[in-house]
Amino acid sequence: MRQSWSDRNCPSRNCAGEIAVRVAAICAAIAAISLAVWAAISTPALPGFDEVRARWTPSDAQLLDRRGYPLHEVRIDRRGRRLAWTPLAEISPALIDVVIRCEDRRFWTHHGIDPAAMARAIGAWGRRGASTITMQLAAMLDPSLAGAHRHKSPGQKLRQMRAALALERRWSKGQILEAYLNLVTYRGELQGVGAAARVMFGKNPDGISPAEAIVMAALLRAPNARAAALTRRAQALRAAGGADAPAPDEVAAAVRRATSVRGSDFSRVTLAPGLAQRWLRGASRSLRCTLDRGVQQFAARSLRSQILQVRDRHVSDGAVLVVENATGDVWAYVAGAADLSSAPWVDGVRALRQPGSTLKPFVYALALERRLLTPASLLLDTPLELPEDRGLYRPLDYDRQFRGLVSMRAALASSLNVPAVRTASLIGVEALADHLRRLGFTEIDQPGDFYGASIALGSPDVALWNLVNAYRVLANGGVLTPLRLFSGNREAQIPASRIYSPAVAWLISDILADRASRSTTFGLENNLATRYWSAVKTGTSKDMRDNWCVGYTKRFTVGVWVGNFSGAAMHDVTGITGAAPVWLEVMNYLYQRLGGGVVERPYGLRAQTVEFVGSNEPPRREWFLAGTEPGPAAARLNNYAARIIEPAADTVIALDPDIPRALQRVRFEASPAPAGARWRLDSHDLGAAAGLVLWPPTPGAHVLALTDTRGRELDQITFKVRGAY
C-alpha cells in the first residue's frame, strides 16, 4: 500500500492536522504583531532622486570630453573610489538584466516589496533573503535601516519595507535602478558601476560584456568574496541564464580579471594635463568640456612621435590646438609633449612666442580690404633697408635670394619676407598693430613703432590660442567669435564681429590653398599638400626658436607649435620639417573620421585673365574684388617701376674715424634699373645706375635721385652722413 508524506513522517495520522493548526495560529499571531508594529513605525524621511544625484561626489575630479569620456583625472578623496555618476542609459543592458535576474526578478512589477520572495524566505527559515532592489537602496540612503553584519532586526526590516514603498511612490523604476547601480559597493573601495567597470575591466559601464556583467552581479552579495567563491556564484548565474549565457571560460576569465586588480592598479587618464592643471585645481566634481577624446589622443600621440623624430635637432616641446570652425569648440588642446618636455607644466597653447610668417595672411588681408592691393599686384622682392629707431632693418627671405617682381599671390603663398614688409609699410605699422589687436591678439599691447615693419614677419609674441582663432576668422568668412572650452562659458556669449568681408577672407583662403603658387619656395609635394581642400601657412621665428603650422579645412582649424620652452634655438628645423608633419597627420585624421569640404566662394568677386610684365609668373586666371579687376580681356600688369634700393630713405650714416677714409663707402643700388638710368646726387651726375655704385661719403644732408635717359626723375630719397675726418 502506498504511503502519503504524513504517513511516512508523522507518528500518528493526526500529525499533519495538528501542525497545520499550529502554523496557522503562529502566522496569525505574527500578522497581528506585525500590523501593530507596522502601525507604530514611522516612514523614514528619504531624499529625492535629484538630491541624491546632486550630492554624489566622485573621488577623482574628472575632466570629461564632449561625450562624457574622461580626459584627465585627479584623486581628491581617499575614502573610496568613485567616478562620475553614470546615467542608466550609459550602463550595459547585459549588466542591468543580470542584476535584476539575481537580485530582484519582479523588480519591474512590484511596488517595493515582493510578497512571493518573502514567502520563500520564510519557507527557507531565514537562509534566503527577500530584500528587493528598492529595499536595498532604502538602506543605502538611510544607514539606520541597514543591520550590523547584514542582519536586521524585525523593526529595521519593517522600517526598510515602509521606506521601499515610499521610494516607489516618489521615484520612477529607472531612477531607483540607476541610483542602486551607482551607490552599491562592488569590491574593496570600488563604489558605483563607473568605478567598478573602469578598475576591474578597464571599460566604461556601457561596454561591459555579458560575462563581465555576471561577475559584477555576483559581487553584489559578497563584494570581497575570494576567487573560488566568486567563481562558483558567477558560474551558477551563468547556468541560470539559459542558452544565451556566455561560455564558462569567458566567465572564468572575467573572474580572474576582477580579482587580480587592486585599487593601486587604477590607471588614471592623463590626456589633458594642461587643461587639468588650470580647471581641475580645487574642483570637487567632474567638468565636461568641448574636447573630443579621440582627437585629443591622436594629436598628443602625433606630437610626441614628431618630437622624437627631431629630438636630435634640439627640439623638446610642442603644442597642438584643434578647433571647430562653426562653433568655436576646442576639440583638442595638447599643451605640451608630456614626459619629453623640458618643462612639463608649461602650457604651450597659452605661452607667448614669436609667430614668424604666420602673421602674413593678415597683413595682405588688410591690404586687400583697403583695396591697396589685389592678388595680381606686383611687389618687389629685392634688397630693402628701412630706417627704424633701433637702426636699419634689412629683411631677408629664408633662402636669402631675391626674385624681383612677384605677384601678391606668389608672395603670400611662397612666404616671401620682403614683399610682406613692403606691404606693412604701405599699410602703416600702427594701423597693422591695431588690426591685429582687433583680430584677438591682445598680447600685442605696444604701439606699432615698438615692433616696426618686422611686425609683418611675426616679431610680436602671441599665443597659439589666439593665432588659431585668427585663422578661423578666415575659414568663417571674416567673422570673429571666441573659442570655447565649456559650452556655457561666459566668453561664448560675446557677440560676433566682422573683421573682413567674405570676399577678402575667401581670397586669402584661396591663396593659402594654392599649391602651384606655393611651389616657388616649398615645391609641389610636401607636408602642406593634402588630398582635399585645405588652406595652410607655416612660420619660423628668428634663429629657428619657434616653428609653426596653422591651417584649416571647411570644418576645422588646426595649429601646431614646435620649439623649446626655454627659448633655445632648434637646429635646422623649419615649418615644413617641424610643425607641418603633425598638422598633416591631425588634418588627415579629422578628414578620414569626419570628412571635409571646400570654403564656398562668396559674391563680390570677379575673375580676370592676367599676364605679368617683368615677372617670371605665367599668365593665369585671377580673382579680384569687384571693381579692382585690371580691365577687360587679358590685362597686362606692369609695375616695372625703378626704385632706389640702397640707401634707405632718411637713413643716417655715421662715419667711423677708426677706418681709413679710402675704405669707407656707401652703396647706391636701384632695382630694377632701366637701360640708360643714371644717378644724380645733390644735382650732380654720378654716372650710370646699371650696376652697384660705391660712393665715398661726405658729411651733410644729401638728396639722391634716379633718372631716366631724358633726365626725368624715377625715384628720390634723402639721407644724412654724420662725422668728420
Q: For position 129, what pLDDT does the model report?
A: 55
List, as own/partner pairs, every contact residues 694-697 make where C-beta atoms lie below 8 angstroms and the sequence separation is at least 24, other chains included. 694/665, 694/666, 694/667, 694/668, 695/665, 695/666, 695/667, 695/668, 696/661, 696/662, 696/664, 696/665, 696/666, 697/653, 697/655, 697/664, 697/665, 697/666, 697/721
Mean pLDDT of the 601-607 span: 92
DSSP 8-state code for residue 89:
G
Residues 332, 299 contacting (CB under 8 angstroms): yes
Q: Return d(Cα 119, Cα 113) in angstroms, integer.
A: 11
Q: For position 653, what pLDDT does the model report?
A: 84
Q: Do 260 and 376 fall into the same domain?
A: no
Strands 643-646 and 666-671: antiparallel
Which H or E run includes 277?
Answer: helix 273-279
Q: Return d(Cα 259, Cα 539) in angstroms, integer.
A: 54
Residues 615, 407 contacting (CB under 8 angstroms): yes
Q: Return d(Cα 156, Cα 131) in angstroms, integer.
A: 12
Residue 395 within a domain? yes
Q: Return d(Cα 447, Cα 260) in angstroms, integer.
A: 65
Name the 3-class secondary structure at 678: strand
Q: For position 12, what pLDDT does the model report?
A: 47
For 366-390, letters b (16+ CB in 10 Å) and e give bbbbeeebbbbbbbbbbbbbbbeee
Q: Do 659 and 516 fall into the same domain?
A: no
Q: Which residue has the higher pLDDT, 210 or 245?
A: 210
DSSP 8-state code for residue 2:
P
Name the 3-class secondary structure at 214: helix
| pLDDT, averaged across the chain | 83
Q: Do 332 and 220 fall into the same domain?
A: no
Q: Tell me, what amino acid is at 423?
A: T
Most confident listed range (372-381, 413-422, 553-562): 553-562
- Give whole-number Cα distances, 150 to 142, 143, 216, 246, 697, in Å: 14, 12, 19, 31, 104
Q: Return d(Cα 364, Cα 286) in angstroms, integer.
A: 44
Find the CATH number of the domain harbouring 258.
Answer: 1.10.3810.10
Q: For position 15, what pLDDT does the model report?
A: 54
697 has which bridge partners? none
Q: Do 569 and 672 fall into the same domain?
A: no
Q: Which residue has the higher pLDDT, 184 or 520?
A: 184
Provide the H-helix boundaries in 388-428.
Answer: 408-413, 417-427
Q: Prior bond to 696 cis, omega within 30?
A: no
Name the 3-class secondary structure at 291: coil
Nearest 10 degrees: Cα torsion 23, 29, 30, 35:
140
Most confident listed range (57-61, 154-158, 401-405, 600-604): 600-604
Residues 409, 514 contacting (CB under 8 angstroms): yes
Q: Which residue has the higher pLDDT, 667 or 281?
A: 667
Find the CATH number of the domain harbouring 675.
Answer: 2.60.40.10
Residue 631 within a domain? no
Residue 138 within a domain? no
Model confidence at 593, pLDDT cuts 50, 70, 90, reads very high
- Residue 515's φ and ψ, nearest 5 degrees, are -65, -35
Q: Do 598 and 516 fall into the same domain?
A: yes
Model confidence at 83, pLDDT cuts 50, 70, 90, reads confident
Q: For position 245, what pLDDT does the model report?
A: 85
pLDDT at 212 over 70: yes
Model confidence at 4, pLDDT cuts 50, 70, 90, reads very low
Mean pLDDT of the 290-315 span: 93
DSSP 8-state code for residue 377:
-
Q: For position 24, what pLDDT does the model report?
A: 53
Q: For position 391, what pLDDT does the model report?
A: 61
Model confidence at 478, pLDDT cuts 50, 70, 90, reads very high
Q: Return d(Cα 224, Cα 188) in angstroms, integer.
A: 6
Residue after which a domain boundary falls, among 245, 265, 285: 265
Look at phi and psi of residue 149 and say left if phi exceeds 0, alpha if psi is from -120 to 50, else beta. left
DSSP 8-state code for residue 662:
G
**Helix (H), strand (E) counts: the chain:** 23, 29
Q: Which residue has the higher pLDDT, 478 or 653?
A: 478
Model confidence at 44, pLDDT cuts 50, 70, 90, reads low
DSSP 8-state code for residue 318:
E
Q: Return d(Cα 418, Cα 718) in angstroms, integer.
A: 21
Q: For position 493, what pLDDT does the model report?
A: 59
Task: State pLDDT tens for residues 9-42.
Answer: 444 445 555 655 555 555 544 554 454 445 445 5
Q: For position 210, what pLDDT does the model report?
A: 93
User: Which of 148-152, 216-220, 265-269 is predicted with the least confidence, judged by mean pLDDT?
Assistant: 148-152
**Total structural domains within the chain:** 4
Q: Do 679 and 589 fall into the same domain?
A: no
Residues 593, 607 contacting (CB under 8 angstroms): no
Mean pLDDT of the 714-725 span: 82
Q: For position 591, what pLDDT does the model report?
A: 95
User: Is the sign of the CA dihedral 581, 587, 593, 595 positive or negative?
Assistant: negative
Percent of the chain with pLDDT over 70: 84
Q: Return d(Cα 704, Cα 688) in angstroms, integer.
A: 13
Q: Return d(Cα 159, Cα 138) in angstroms, integer.
A: 10
Q: For position 361, what pLDDT does the model report?
A: 96
Q: Return d(Cα 301, Cα 311) in angstroms, integer.
A: 15
Model confidence at 173, pLDDT cuts 50, 70, 90, reads very high
Q: For position 181, what pLDDT does the model report?
A: 95
Q: For position 147, what pLDDT does the model report?
A: 57
Residue 294 within a domain? no
User: Which of 130-134, 135-139, 145-149, 274-278 is predicted with the least confidence, judged by mean pLDDT?
Assistant: 145-149
495 has which bridge partners? none
Angle at 438 between CA 432 and CA 442, to 5 degrees: 95
Residue 280 within a domain? no
pLDDT at 661 over 50: yes
The cell 610642442 sits on which residue? Answer: 318
The cell 585663422 sits on which residue? Answer: 471
Q: Do 365 and 397 fall into the same domain?
A: yes
Q: Which residue has the higher pLDDT, 452 or 291?
A: 291
Q: How far apart are the first and last CA of the chain?
A: 149
Find the CATH number of the domain harbouring 518.
Answer: 3.40.710.10
pLDDT at 149 over 80: no
> Cell digits for 327?
562653433
Q: For position 492, what pLDDT does the model report?
A: 52
Q: For position 1, what pLDDT does the model report?
A: 41
Q: Which residue has the higher pLDDT, 59 or 210?
A: 210
Tell me the residue range of the domain where 86 lies.
47-133+170-265
Q: Return d(Cα 425, Cα 648) in angstroms, integer.
A: 13
Task: State pLDDT tens for residues 50-76.
Answer: 999 988 888 878 888 898 888 887 777
Q: Do 341 and 197 fall into the same domain?
A: no
Most confident listed range (281-285, 468-472, 653-657): 468-472
Residue after which a domain boundary falls, among 588, 610, 632: 610
519 has which bridge partners? none
Mean pLDDT of the 184-210 span: 89
Mean pLDDT of the 360-371 span: 95
Q: Return d(Cα 417, Cα 396) in angstroms, integer.
A: 6
pLDDT at 472 over 90: yes
Among 203, 113, 219, 103, smallest CA distance to 163 is for 113
Residue 73 within a domain? yes
Mean pLDDT of the 474-498 span: 83
- Give whole-number Cα distances, 106 to 114, 178, 358, in Å: 7, 17, 66
Q: For position 72, what pLDDT does the model report?
A: 84
Name the 3-class secondary structure at 572: coil
User: Which of 39-53, 152-166, 605-619 is predicted with the least confidence, judged by mean pLDDT?
Assistant: 39-53
Q: Do 16 and 71 fall into the same domain?
A: no
Mean pLDDT of the 655-661 span: 82
Mean pLDDT of the 222-231 span: 88
pLDDT at 121 over 80: no
Residues 158, 37 contacting (CB under 8 angstroms): yes
Residue 150 within a domain? no
Mean pLDDT of the 341-348 span: 86
Residues 6+ apart with CB under 8 A from 491: 482, 483, 484
Most confident listed range (136-150, 557-571, 610-624, 645-659): 557-571
Cα 320 from chain centroid? 7
List, as own/partner pairs, every contact residues 656-659 make where C-beta atoms lie below 8 angstroms and the sequence separation is at least 24, other chains included. 656/723, 657/723, 657/725
Q: For position 241, what pLDDT does the model report?
A: 80
pLDDT at 323 over 90: yes
Q: For position 125, what pLDDT does the model report?
A: 43
Q: Do 92 and 69 fall into the same domain?
A: yes
Residue 151 within a domain? no
Mean pLDDT of the 170-184 span: 94
Q: Do 536 and 591 fall into the same domain?
A: yes
Q: For position 598, what pLDDT does the model report?
A: 83
Mean pLDDT of the 582-598 span: 92
Mean pLDDT of the 688-711 span: 88
Mean pLDDT of the 437-455 span: 88
Q: Tell me, what amino acid is at 723?
A: G
Q: Return d(Cα 338, Cα 353) in angstroms, integer.
A: 19
- Give whole-number Cα distances, 91 to 88, 204, 551, 600, in Å: 5, 8, 39, 43
Residue after which a domain boundary falls, among 610, 629, 658: 610
Name the 3-class secondary structure at 85: coil
Q: For position 534, what pLDDT does the model report?
A: 94
Q: Do 387 and 350 fall into the same domain?
A: yes
User: Which of 19-33, 207-221, 306-320, 436-450 is predicted with the least confidence, judged by mean pLDDT?
Assistant: 19-33
Q: Strands, E, within 458-545: which ranges?
A: 462-463, 479-480, 497-498, 535-540
Length, in residues, of the chain: 725
Residues 500, 470 contacting (CB under 8 angstroms): no
Angle at 339 between CA 335 and CA 345, to 5 degrees: 45
